[in-house]
Structure 1
Amino acid sequence: MRVVLFGSGPQAYGHVDALLAVRKLASVTVVARDPGRAAALAGHVRGIGVPEVRTGTAEEVAEADLVVCCTTAREPLFDGRRVAPGAVVVAVGSHEPDARETDTALVRRSEVWVEARAAALREAGDLLIPEAEGAIGPGHLTGTLADLVRGPALPPPGPAPRLFKSVGMAWQDLAVAVAVHRAATG
């Protein structure tokens, strides 16, 4: 799996660790504003066993299987038209109505998944801005995280990218923390 990772803070490190727990990563390209922090994250990723790691540019989303956005960006990080059909974009950073990591072009052409519809339609600028522009309507959301967990398996990737937009549901973080604690303490 070829990953392009935007950001170089704690969320970026945590997402690399989470990805490695469930997938073999062929390559990771780190894109960040601060070259020193990007290089430090690339060194960390190299040190935990990813064979090909480097810093890069936003244009490299065109070659990615997975794009992970872990930033506090106010404006889109890349041109959504460049994302390949069938690629997955996970946007977990910016979560204010007037801030976004992804652009209207990506949102319009993607299957869009969210944690919870009400929270996403209240907080996710990635969705609210394209809706205000008239590019998408309220029915554009494909489903929720709960739908993914409970529902039938996703069909194979089609011609559209898949976008998961997170707004940081604290109750879900707490539920995961409780489950991890219980598992660790038996």
Structure 2
Amino acid sequence: MGRWEPNAQARLRQAAMDLYAERGFDQTTVAEIAEKAGLTERTFFRHFGDKREVLFGGSERLQEMLVASVTAADPGTDPAVTVAAAFEHAAEDYFPPVGYSRQRQQVIDANPGLQERELAKLDGLAAAMAAALRERETPDLPAALIAETGVAAFKVAFVRWVTDPADAPLLGHVRSAFAALGDVWSFAPGRI
């Protein structure tokens, strides 16, 4: 093998996903991933800290993108609209094709430890977005509620996307989830 292998990260990611689907996450080793990709373990560790990062690497970029979107919104924009727009932007510019995302989600759904990590990442997104809203002078309680609700709406949209047999775009699912959220909360005060 040469010192430099084109598309090494993509090859490692796909090899890992194939092995996770075939054998299960816990039964797959880094050595097997590297071998299937035609690369070395050393190359694997140049691209990923561990085999979980194949699934979760890049989540910092998603968080940065969402926070930047919230921060850049016009000052007079409603905080809930700001959060919805941030998720719409991410739906257009961040996520890989639905086939890969579907395969990734199946691996996560089959492993409780990975599910826990996914929830922790979502919790981190909500905290970061709430902080960005507070910096825009949204009071603490509304900032926290809007960020958490936005993450919940996105989570529902994402699940609908990866289970959609028609493979409709993620953006449409995000818009539908946020629109439905508006309908859910349109009850009259005192009805709870």
TM-score (norm 2): 0.29
Answer 1 or 2: which has greater helix percent. 2
Give the structure with higher Rg (CA).
2
Answer 1 or 2: which has greater strand percent. 1
TM-score (norm 1): 0.30
